[in-house]
Amino acid sequence: MATTAGRRELQGHSRFCERCLRVDELRPPLLIGGRYQQFAQLDSGQRRLERHQFKPSHGFVGWGGDAGRKTLELVVVRAYISFVLNLFLIWFLTVLAMEGFAYGMHRWVMHGPGWFLHQSHHREHSGRVELNDLYAVIFALPSVVLIYGATQADWGNWAVAVGIGIATYGLIYFGFHDVIVHRRMKHRYIPKSDYMKRIVQAHRLHHAVESQRHGLSFGFLVAPPIEKLMVQLETSRARLRQPTGRETPAQS
């Protein structure tokens, strides 16, 4: 009798352990009422009831059946979209902020203590390289550091977004400033929109001033009306640069 009872108890434990193992592997705990309950603790009727009453609005994560899988997929997709949108917002705000940063650096650093490098950009020279090009290397360093820190030192995804935002503005600046305005690379592009005409003409008016002081239009992608800049130029005490015909004026 004792042997038969022990054998039955052992078989019962084996079936229970197999059941728990099967349930735990295939169906992780279900969050119900703020506490975790194992599916192994619920009989078949309770399981059907919980699946029937399950609603995504309750904040539950269901793992059983098609409804649970679809809900889990929806949660993952929403989390991924939110993640991507947050990074995109950080990237976009960084690009916008870089215009303000570039304005401040151009006005108070390049035309201030850093004029010893920037003056090569306001004067005629025969070579293709300027001392002013060192600023491109200096301004690229934060982008490199942020991307490296995010990928190698676990600084977070925000660092990647900011680093790429800085690099994006650098590419936009290069295309506008070095290629379109100063034609350091040959092209046939002629500004036609009012916006492009304004920012190109504004930067060329900036280069009409050869001296360090009394400059105007220090922005790159944002520029005041040309009429306003012409008035400032006429009333300025700055030393004007003589035209050389090196740069082709924007078509009006």
- The 10s digit of each residue's pLDDT in 158-202 is 999 999 999 999 999 999 999 999 998 988 899 999 999 999 999
- Higher confidence at residue 187 or residue 214? 187
pLDDT given for residue 103 in this prediction: 96
Contacts made by residues 236-245, CB under 8 angstroms, sequence distance 24+: 236/209, 238/209, 238/210, 238/211, 238/213, 238/214, 239/209, 239/210, 239/211, 240/208, 240/209, 240/210, 241/122, 241/207, 241/208, 241/209, 241/210, 244/124
- Higher confidence at residue 32 or residue 157? 157
pLDDT tens digits, one per residue of 68-94:
777 888 888 999 999 999 999 999 999
Domain spans of the chain, in order of start = 78-235
pLDDT given for residue 71 in this prediction: 84
β partners of residue 70? none
Task: Reply yes or no on whether the pLDDT at 42 is more than 50.
Answer: yes
pTM of the model: 0.68
pLDDT given for residue 8 in this prediction: 58
Contact assessment for residue 162 and residue 148, using Cβ atoms and an 8 Å cutoff: no
Q: What percent of the chain has pLDDT over 70?
A: 67
